[in-house]
Amino acid sequence: MIRLVLAALLGVSANLALAETLPACTPASAVGSRCEVALAQLRPTQPGVGLLQVADEQAKLAKRAKKDSAEDFQRYLIKKRIPLVIGPDGGFYLVDRHHFSRALWDNGVRQAPAVIEGKLTDAAGFWSTMQARNWAWLKDEHGKAIDPTTLPTSVAALPDYPYRSLAGYAEDDGLFRKNGQVFFMEFAWAQYLGEQLGWRRIDRATLPATLDAARRAACASTAASLPGYPGTACAVH
């Protein structure tokens, strides 16, 4: 089915010879197994994504699909496989790769490689376990706790969190860094940058000026309690 990914990205025939075929993901798929999931079945475990970054990912995927051979692009997608938890309802819950999954969807892709990271059967304790294992982020862009019943029910419905994009660009610029395994740190930085910058509007036109302001905020002492502070681009000692 990965040939259908290439067809969607390139708008070409799906008649491609590929080296590996993955089975379809099902509620019976074993933990640790690789399979192919229908993106429409993915259940988000965070309330939003940065759509500016999603658009960048879309462009990178399309460029790579044109440059790579079918086999190389297949290997890339399998390496980037979407990590899932099978819930007590048999649903496929995203552990990570929300931006990547949305970029695939927005490019017209409807199936992609995945890996089953876990399987939870206790409905009453599902979301508490998801949070305890750092498999879910149940706060909005402003850091306010949300009820999991309010999460978007599909990757296509994930709303834009502009400051999540800003945090991603700030990380790319070295304004904070991942020291070890710190989960959801971009959301903490998104909240901080939003508060520091007064939640000013962010779009492609305003991004350069906003990122300049983010550089000053990210390197200030007020950010010292955040994970990854100071970044390699900050002259803070």
pLDDT in tens, 163-218: 999 999 999 999 999 877 688 999 999 999 999 999 999 999 999 999 999 999 99
Q: Which pLDDT value is given to residue 182? A: 82
Q: Which CATH class is domain 2-157?
A: alpha beta
Closest CA to 6 of 72, 83, 65, 92: 65
Q: Which of 1-15, 135-149, 153-167 has the lowest mean pLDDT?
A: 1-15
Angle between helices 162-172 and 185-196 (to 10 degrees): 110
Whole-angstrom Cα distance, residue 102 to residue 109?
9
Q: What is the CA radius of gyration of the chain?
A: 19
Which helix (H) or strand (E) segment holds residue 172: the answer is helix 162-172
Which helix (H) or strand (E) segment holds residue 67: the answer is helix 51-67
Whole-angstrom Cα distance, residue 68 to residue 78?
14
Q: Which pLDDT value is given to residue 178? A: 84
Query: Hey, what are 186's tokens?
Result: 């971009």
Q: Which pLDDT value is given to residue 235? A: 72
82: which strand partners? 114
Q: Tell me, what amino acid is at 91?
A: G
More confident residue, 153 or 20: 153
Q: Which pLDDT value is given to residue 15? A: 35
Whole-angstrom Cα distance, residue 110 to residue 2?
10
Domain boundaries, the chain: 2-157, 162-223
Whole-angstrom Cα distance, residue 83 to residue 98?
10
Q: Which pLDDT value is given to residue 3? A: 54
Closest CA to 101 of 145, 152, 149, 141: 152
- What would the pLDDT profile of 70-128 be if each residue is shown by its tens digit? 899 989 999 999 999 999 999 999 999 999 999 999 999 999 999 999 999 999 999 99
DSSP 195: H
Whole-angstrom Cα distance, residue 112 to residue 179?
30
Q: Cβ-count burial of 159 within 10 angstroms (0-12 exposed, 13-18 middle, 19+ buried)?
A: exposed
Query: Hey, what are 118's tokens?
Result: 């876990």
Q: How far is CA 208 from CA 147, 200, 204, 212, in A?
A: 34, 13, 8, 6
Residue 21: band (very low, low, confident or very high) from pLDDT cuts 50, 70, 90: confident
Whole-angstrom Cα distance, residue 28 to residue 15?
30
Residues 157 and 204: beta-carbon distance below 8 Å: no
Whole-angstrom Cα distance, residue 140 to residue 150?
11
DSSP 40: G
- Asked if residue 12 has pLDDT above 60, the reply is no
Enter the CATH code of domain 162-223: 1.10.8
Equal CATH topology for 2-157 and 162-223: no
